[in-house]
């Protein structure tokens, strides 16, 4: 059994600085918890306004230091890339044919607009419904690479308890076929520089991805992007 890896990206920062009280020469070293990038920048501006903070430094989750110029360059670049990723995944299974239907819905922002990407796929030689759910996760990472999602945190929502607990590392994974899928997922996550955040949701909340998975088993291919104002 292999331990699951966790990969980080620059979407949270902490600030470290020295603070000087009025009319005193002594300084105090201080730091924040991890903040969103925008919160960190707002706090840094407020600290500067006090006139009592010095040597303000930014660090990401991997303890890499970022300059303010680098942060703004990163944010500017990300505006034209897909960001604020929220994905819904589902895998359906047909016992007689050993086929899986995979459904993916990805919500994201890009260039000031919100989008929804829906896609499904039929997958052969799957052993059971559990493996179908893991195959859906693998399919999602393939989709991420195709539409240019990289180097950021992303929320992945599933109604599969096994997938949720095993992909997040809360449960061990003993089944070889499932462990192999997780190894492939880890490799894709590392390649794309992503930090997955898994959420367990109800089947009702996942009905859009479930419908896509069912349509895949019915050999109805779905693929499309549209502007979106609401997320599931």
Please tell me which residue, 44 or 229, carries the higher pLDDT value. Answer: 44
Residue 7 within any structural domain of the chain: no
Q: How far is CA 216 from CA 1, 147, 172, 177, 209, in A?
A: 32, 20, 30, 22, 11
**pLDDT computed for residue 1 by the predictor:** 42
Spatial neighbors of 67 by CB under 8 A, at least 6 apart, are: 58
Which structural domain range is residue 113 located in?
A: 83-227
* Pair 53, 97 in one domain: no
For residue range 29-41, list pLDDT tens digits in order: 999 999 999 999 9
How many Å apart are CA 70 and CA 28, to the nearest integer? 26
Tell me, what CATH number does 125's domain have? 3.30.420.10
**pLDDT computed for residue 42 by the predictor:** 97
Q: How confident is the model at residue 77 (pLDDT cuts 50, 70, 90)?
A: confident
Residue 5 has pLDDT above 50, yes or no: no
Residue 188 has pLDDT above 90, yes or no: yes
CB-based burial label for 177 (10 Å; 0-12, 13-18, 19+): middle
In whole angstroms, how large is the CA radius of gyration of the chain?
A: 21
Average pLDDT over residues 74-95: 94
Contact 37/47 with Cβ under 8 angstroms?
no
* Pair 26, 107 in one domain: no
Average pLDDT over residues 15-38: 94
| Boundary (domain end) residue, out of 37, 63, 79 | 79
| Boundary (domain end) residue, out of 62, 79, 96 | 79
* Pair 24, 99 in one domain: no
| Boundary (domain end) residue, out of 79, 107, 123 | 79
Residue 138 has pLDDT above 50, yes or no: yes
SS (H, E, C) 160-209: CHHHHHHHCCCCCCCCHHHHHHHHHHHHHHHHHCCEEEEEECCCCCCHHH
Q: How confident is the model at residue 9 (pLDDT cuts 50, 70, 90)?
A: low
* Pair 99, 26 in one domain: no
* Pair 72, 103 in one domain: no
Torsion of CA 111, 193, 44, 42, to 10 degrees: 30
Backbone torsions φ then ψ of 136, nearest 5 degrees: -65, -40
Residue 123 has pLDDT above 90, yes or no: yes
**pLDDT computed for residue 148 by the predictor:** 95
Q: How confident is the model at residue 232 (pLDDT cuts 50, 70, 90)?
A: low
* Pair 22, 106 in one domain: no
* Pair 47, 149 in one domain: no
pTM: 0.80
Q: How many domains does the chain have?
A: 2
* Pair 171, 220 in one domain: yes
**pLDDT computed for residue 2 by the predictor:** 42
* Pair 141, 208 in one domain: yes
Contact 199/155 with Cβ under 8 angstroms?
yes
């Amino acid at each position: 059994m292999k331990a699951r890896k966790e990969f980080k990206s620059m979407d949270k920062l902490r600030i470290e600085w020295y603070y000087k009280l009025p009319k005193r020469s002594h300084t105090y070293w201080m730091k924040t918890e991890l903040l969103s990038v925008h919160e960190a920048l707002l706090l840094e501006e407020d600290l500067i306004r006090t006139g009592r903070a010095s040597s303000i430094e930014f660090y990401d989750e991997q303890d890499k230091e970022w300059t303010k110029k680098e942060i703004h360059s990163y944010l500017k670049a990300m505006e034209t890339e897909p960001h604020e990723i929220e994905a819904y995944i589902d895998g359906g299974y047909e016992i007689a044919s050993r086929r899986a239907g995979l459904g993916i819905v990805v919500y994201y922002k890009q260039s000031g607009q919100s989008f929804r990407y829906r896609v499904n796929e039929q997958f052969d030689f799957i052993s059971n419904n559990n493996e179908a759910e893991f195959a859906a996760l693998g399919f999602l990472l393939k989709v991420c690479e195709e539409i240019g999602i990289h180097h950021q945190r992303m929320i992945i929502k599933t109604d599969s308890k096994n997938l949720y607990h095993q992909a997040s590392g809360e449960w061990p994974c003993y089944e070889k076929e499932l462990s192999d899928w997780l190894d492939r997922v880890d490799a894709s996550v590392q390649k794309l520089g992503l930090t997955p955040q898994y959420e367990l949701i109800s089947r009702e909340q996942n009905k859009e991805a479930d419908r896509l998975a069912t349509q895949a088993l019915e050999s109805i291919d779905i693929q499309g992007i549209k502007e979106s104002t609401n997320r599931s």
